[in-house]
Structure 1
Amino acid sequence: MKSVRVLSPSGMLGAGWDHATIERGIALGADVISIDGGSTDSGPYYLGSATPKTTAKAVARDLRSLLTAAAGAGIPVIVGSCGTSGTDSGVDWVAGIAAEVMASEGLDLKVAKIYSEQDASGLKEHLDAGRVHPLPPLGPLRAETLESCTHIVGVMGHEPIVAALRAGAQLVLAGRATDTALAAAYPLMKGMPAGPTWHAAKIVECGGQCTSNPRAGGVLATIDAGGFTIEPLDPAAACTPILVAAHMLYETVNPFEMREPDGVLDVRDARYIAVDDRIVRVEGSNFHVADQYTIKLEGTRITGYETMSFSAIRDPLVLGDIDAWADLMRAMISQRVRHTLGLADDEYAFDLRLYGHNAVLGDLEPESGPPREVGVMLLVNAPDQATATAVAKVANPLMLHLPTPGMDYLPSFAFASSPAEVERGAAYEFVLNHVVDCDSPMSLFRMQIGEKSDA
């Protein structure tokens, strides 16, 4: 093939799009459709609990759009990081939805499932052999950290996806994968050069985000021996050299480099050229093969159980010195919990965030002067749910009526809900940001190829 066209409909399966943009991509000659099914963007909960962020109906809607279009064109569909975090149950969840869609649409597609979840005992063997290395800011991995994880996934590169495509898969459902591997797999399999392929994959990973109207739909990347072009699927949207080049600033440590399991994309010499007022050509991208193939690990563990309470303040005297009021609130909560529940400060934790004042930027907030209104969020973390809720209940009267030291009346604030205490369940944290040296790109992954219509 002299060129390969990759259709990227959106940044995430379940986000939705106008089906007309998919039809246009097919009409423009798309050879493959690739889309991400999740990421770590929304925090550790989804991996920790193996819960999808998206709703099944939204995923079904998007799969129906993609599978009917792809089946009609005879091209494959690739979905990665299924179920948001790429756990084995996430792959099976998307596969089940796909099976229902195919049955209802009368489609007969061969499905490949690639599992990326890792077992702690197997990883400990790699750890003992010195094959596991930390990425900043974490330090050396300890075996007990692996044992504490509720779920661990390996972030696959393009090779397992290529293996599934070579085995005849028309729908590839992959566990956790790099966002770029999904779009890069088919062009690399067809012999396109690594530099343009990986760079194009990076640009299209979020669909229309590199266009003048990200809400309007996805993009089509055409990769050839000398570079690639990017075209929006909505005729009213446009790509410009600045919009395309800017996507290398997105989710990268270095705007000129991006590490994949098998090497590094280098765009220092890339040139961004406007073909017309809506299509951009990119040339000069390079890819440097690494000396060691590595797979990144992501893992989460439970940090405790959370209860949240939220109230809103409009009282101008409180807002006139809201920081002093917050300091008093923190001291009063600690004091009352100690006297009422008998808990020391190290037996639980709480966070008081002032939305409308400095909850987002904290000490970096450039604005001065009192806010007009503040939402006060109390987030309690404890070893069990009952304790977290008990602490929040002790704080309830303070969240409703705490005056500043200089006030001669009892103010009233507004709770956002009744009951005021909302139990959030288990809270998770990421504890793995490490890579494993691998002899084979397939060694940490398992593939299952089904018969047609057998997801």
Structure 2
Amino acid sequence: MDNERVDQVKVLAPTGMLGAGFPEATVERGLALGADVISVDAGSTDSGPYYLGASRPKTTRAAVARDLRVLLKAAASAGIPLIVGSCGTSGTDAGVDWVAEIVAGIQAEEKLSLRVARIYSEQDAGTLAERLDEGRVHPLPPLGELRPETLESCTHIVGVMGHEPIVAALEAGAQVVLAGRATDTAIAAAYPLMKGMPAGPSWHAAKIIECGGQCTSDPRAGGVLATVDAGGFTIEPLDPAVSCTPILVAAHMLYETVNPYEMREPDGTLDVRDAAYTALDERRVRVEGSRFHVADQHTIKLEGARVTGYETMSFSAIRDPHILEHIDEWAELMHTVLRQRVEQTIGLSDDKYAVDLRLYGHNAILGDLDPASGPPREVGVMLLVSAPDQATATAVAKIANPLMLHLPTPDMDYLPSLAFPSSPAETERGPAYEFVLHHVVDTVTPTEMFRTEIEEPPHHG
């Protein structure tokens, strides 16, 4: 990859999530506007620990392939790199390989010859335990000191890379970079930083475009183009009918940040206290004044998940007006009777399993904070049983079955009939996971925790 310094770099962000879809015309417009690189995020922890713990993608293969086909053809036609971060949702090695397999298939079908780099971010628990012994692993609030057995309990651990491994892959000649777990911003900041753009504008622009069109007047209409230069950056939507405004652009610094003025990256901290947001016209916004403070110690954040048990779910629906008028009493009775019947039936005390009863339509989302008053019109009852093994979780859910169908309130002299939406009523959800790592590792070099493989481009006869 030519590493010649330039006056500006244009980063095309087509969408906030690979597989979420975008209008192909917006990518074409981004190329027409002179895009120098395409960056797209493919992962998140927003959907919980399952995807890391099980190393499974949350996106369907067909959706990822559709988006990649458009982006690979665009990158090839324009002769610009494509950077994909956090492949396979969680950035595990299997996730990187899954996306790489899709890319290989598309290259064969479209007769493309792009050189692909895979950057692996999965970490070995034993190696991390050595780093822990050396005093190089530190907790982030609210977690405390890490114990070696916590590392060993994880099914998968990833390190969240910054821009440096991506830049190294580009400098080694990669035209497509498929990165494991990476900060959402690193994938967009990497190319501008490699081309000599200042860190403040590069990281700030990357933050604003990490979610594609989220910073525009219509997030569904496609992505954005960020032009980074020595003095700042400019944001422009790729749909001509959509606008960016200073408020929309500035507001994205509130998204997923502890401090709206700062954002930590592996090599330092973005500082936007002095940033000024100016409307160039009704569609474009100019941002200047962003700064970046390089940290004394480069760190890599760890994410890890482990199995906490197994779950079985049951769902019922209540329309009976008397039960709905006393729905909290009914829920309390459900807990009491179920606990008694489980102990009577299988001799299991309630410290050997857990029951989560959620009343959708009443207070399942806000709980006691729900401002609604009066009885609900209808309620969906979700029973989630967690136990050390699947058989126990299902046994408890089956004991709950007649209660989910016929449990009356204490003052009723008849058995009501509630409604199961499916048969069987119990659904085994399999292993449940939890995040257990929120720690950083002090690194000697920014790339030491990551492994890169670059494949020669395919040749088509």
- Give the TM-score normalised by structure 1: 0.99
Match of residue 148, structure 2, among 143, 149, 157: 143
> How much identity, in percent, do the aligned residues show?
78
**1:40 equivalent in alignment to 2:45:** yes
Equivalent-residue separation in structure 1 for 2:231 and 2:417 (angstroms) = 67
Match of residue 225, structure 2, among 220, 224, 230: 220
Match of residue 320, structure 2, among 290, 315, 319: 315
**1:92 equivalent in alignment to 2:117:** no
Does structure 2 retain, via aligned residues, the 8 Å contact 1:37–1:80?
A: yes
Q: How many pairs does the alignment contain?
A: 454
Q: Match for 1:175: what amino acid?
A: G
Which residues in structure 2 correspond to 1:9-20 (within 5 Å)?
9-20=14-25
Partner of 2:401: 396
Equivalent-residue separation in structure 2 for 1:431 and 1:269 (angstroms) = 36
Does structure 2 retain, via aligned residues, the 8 Å contact 1:154–1:298?
A: yes
Q: Match for 1:109: what amino acid?
A: L
Q: Match for 2:25: what amino acid?
A: A
Partner of 1:416: 421
Equivalent-residue separation in structure 1 for 2:32 and 2:182 (angstroms) = 28
Return the offset for 1:355.
Answer: 0.7
Partner of 2:135: 130
Equivalent-residue separation in structure 1 for 2:391 and 2:272 (angstroms) = 53
Match of residue 102, structure 1, among 95, 102, 107: 107
SS in 2 for 1:394: helix
Return the offset for 1:169.
Answer: 0.4
Does structure 2 retain, via aligned residues, the 8 Å contact 1:16–1:62?
A: yes
SS in 1 for 2:434: strand
Equivalent-residue separation in structure 2 for 1:328 and 1:85 (angstroms) = 40
Partner of 2:177: 172
Does structure 2 retain, via aligned residues, the 8 Å contact 1:111–1:453?
A: no
Equivalent-residue separation in structure 2 for 1:369 and 1:129 (angstroms) = 59
Match of residue 299, structure 2, among 281, 294, 299: 294
Match of residue 116, structure 1, among 121, 127, 133: 121
SS in 1 for 2:55: coil
Equivalent-residue separation in structure 1 for 2:74 and 2:104 (angstroms) = 16
Q: Match for 2:48: what amino acid?
A: G
Does structure 2 retain, via aligned residues, the 8 Å contact 1:309–1:378?
A: yes
Match of residue 451, structure 1, among 419, 440, 456: 456
SS in 2 for 1:318: helix
Which residues in structure 2 correspond to 1:180-259 (within 5 Å)?
180-259=185-264
Equivalent-residue separation in structure 2 for 1:150 and 1:332 (angstroms) = 36
SS in 2 for 1:452: coil
Q: Match for 1:11: what amino acid?
A: G
Return the offset for 1:102.
Answer: 0.6
Match of residue 26, structure 2, among 21, 24, 27: 21
Partner of 2:274: 269
Return the offset for 1:367.
Answer: 1.6
Equivalent-residue separation in structure 2 for 1:260 and 1:430 (angstroms) = 21
Equivalent-residue separation in structure 2 for 1:366 and 1:131 (angstroms) = 47
Give per-residue Cα distances to partners, 1:12-65, cap 9 Å, x unaligned. Answer: 111111110000000000000000011101000000000001111111100100
Give per-residue Cα distances to partners, 1:396-450, cap 9 Å, x unaligned. Answer: 0000111000112211111121100000000000000000011111111000011
Q: Match for 2:16: what amino acid?
A: G
Q: Match for 1:392: what amino acid?
A: A
Does structure 2 retain, via aligned residues, the 8 Å contact 1:349–1:380?
A: yes
RMSD of the alignment, in Å? 0.7
Equivalent-residue separation in structure 1 for 2:76 and 2:224 (angstroms) = 19
Match of residue 71, structure 2, among 47, 66, 70: 66
Equivalent-residue separation in structure 1 for 2:280 and 2:338 (angstroms) = 62
SS in 1 for 2:307: strand
Partner of 1:31: 36
Return the offset for 1:241.
Answer: 0.5
Match of residue 7, structure 1, among 2, 12, 26: 12
Partner of 1:329: 334
Match of residue 361, structure 1, among 366, 372, 376: 366
Return the offset for 1:453.
Answer: 2.8
Partner of 2:412: 407
Partner of 2:3: none
Equivalent-residue separation in structure 2 for 1:78 and 1:453 (angstroms) = 18
- Give the TM-score normalised by structure 2: 0.98
SS in 2 for 1:363: helix
Give per-residue Cα distances to partners, 1:131-169, cap 9 Å, x unaligned. Answer: 111111111100000000000000000000000000010
Does structure 2 retain, via aligned residues, the 8 Å contact 1:156–1:295?
A: yes
Q: Match for 1:6: what amino acid?
A: V
Does structure 2 retain, via aligned residues, the 8 Å contact 1:37–1:83?
A: yes
Query: Which consecutive unaligned segments of at least 5 residues does structure 1 have?
Result: none
Partner of 2:57: 52
Equivalent-residue separation in structure 1 for 2:458 and 2:315 (angstroms) = 48
Equivalent-residue separation in structure 1 for 2:433 and 2:403 (angstroms) = 28
Partner of 1:440: 445
Q: Match for 1:262: what amino acid?
A: D
SS in 1 for 2:185: helix
Does structure 2 retain, via aligned residues, the 8 Å contact 1:308–1:378?
A: yes
Moved >3 Å (runs of 4+): none
Q: Match for 1:440: what amino acid?
A: T
Equivalent-residue separation in structure 2 for 1:291 and 1:316 (angstroms) = 64
**1:427 equivalent in alignment to 2:432:** yes
Q: Match for 1:326: what amino acid?
A: A
SS in 1 for 2:16: coil
Query: Which consecutive unaligned segments of at least 5 residues does structure 2 have?
Result: 1-5
SS in 2 for 1:307: strand
